[in-house]
Amino acid sequence: MSTLPPAIAGRAPSPLLPRHEADAYGPLPTPAPHTDAELTTLLRLLAAPTTLTIGHSRDAASITAAASLAEAWRAAGRTVLALVHWPEHAASWLRPAQRFTAGRPDAWVVAAAPLGWAQMSRRLRHSTDWEPTRTYGFASVGDSRLVALAGPETLDGMRGATTDGGTWLIDRGWVTLHTPRIAPPHPMTR
């Protein structure tokens, strides 16, 4: 017989990633500054949505990437519902997860360090109606170690941009990369 209150007894355990699991992947990279090609590709991927919520970790590169996207998005006459940030380490990601999903944006965009996004995405899947298929990311979150840390199916369908203007997609636990489209040389320049 369970000693937990009925409202808690039926829930899955906390989605918090145990420290030993995170440590198993060694030190994860700190996000690098975003590139113009990366931002351009994200904007191309986000052609259909009109409202966004942008989430980011608290490192300088992620803050700058999120601000650059918000500026470009607003300049195009579109709406940013919220800019939400989270730490790399915390006891809970529930508050930022609730802020991230408030307002039901057409899409979410993430600029973050891998460990914090792994924790945040686990909380999002556990406690909100967030959908990874409506989520896009900068290159920093297109890392296969992130997919392993977040757990099976947590990020399936998420996609994003690489630093060189290519794209990535998370599908069935794999991160697939697609090189950028390069225009063929003009016939007169051969």
pLDDT at 166: 97
Task: Quote the DSSP letter at residue 108.
Answer: E
What value does the mean pLDDT take over residues 4-28?
Answer: 62
User: Secondary structure of the chain: what % helix, strand, coil (to 5)?
Assistant: 40, 20, 45
- Give residue 120's pLDDT: 95
Nearest to 88 by CA among 125, 124, 62, 113: 113
| pLDDT tens-digit readout, 115-147 | 999 999 999 999 999 999 999 999 999 999 999
Report in angstroms the alpha-carbon separations of 139 from 81, 96, 169.
Answer: 22, 21, 11
pLDDT band at 12 (very low <50, low <70, confident <90, very high): low
φ/ψ of 120, rounded to 5, equals: -65, -45
Strand extents, DSSP E, 58-179: 79-86, 107-111, 135-137, 159-161, 167-171, 174-178
Question: 102-106: which pairs have CB atoms within 8 A and are 24 or more residues apart?
Answer: 102/53, 103/51, 103/53, 105/49, 105/51, 105/52, 105/53, 105/81, 106/48, 106/49, 106/50, 106/51, 106/52, 106/134
Q: Token pair of 188, please?
A: 């007169």
Among 21-30, 116-125, 147-156, 162-171, where is mean pLDDT lowest? 21-30
Whole-model pTM: value is: 0.86
Alpha-carbon distance 100 to 86, whole Å?
10
User: Angle 60-75/36-45 helices, nearest 10 degrees?
Assistant: 50
Has residue 35 got a pLDDT over 60? yes
Per-residue pLDDT tens digits for 38-91: 999 999 999 999 999 999 999 999 999 999 999 999 999 999 999 999 988 887
The answer, yes or no, to whether residue 26 has pLDDT greater than 50, is yes
Q: Domains in the chain, start-ordered, CATH in brackets?
A: 36-178 (3.40.50.2300)
* Sheet with 135-137, edge to edge strand ranges: 79-86, 51-57, 107-111, 135-137, 159-161, 167-171, 174-178
Q: Percent of the chain at pLDDT above 90?
A: 74
pLDDT at 8: 36
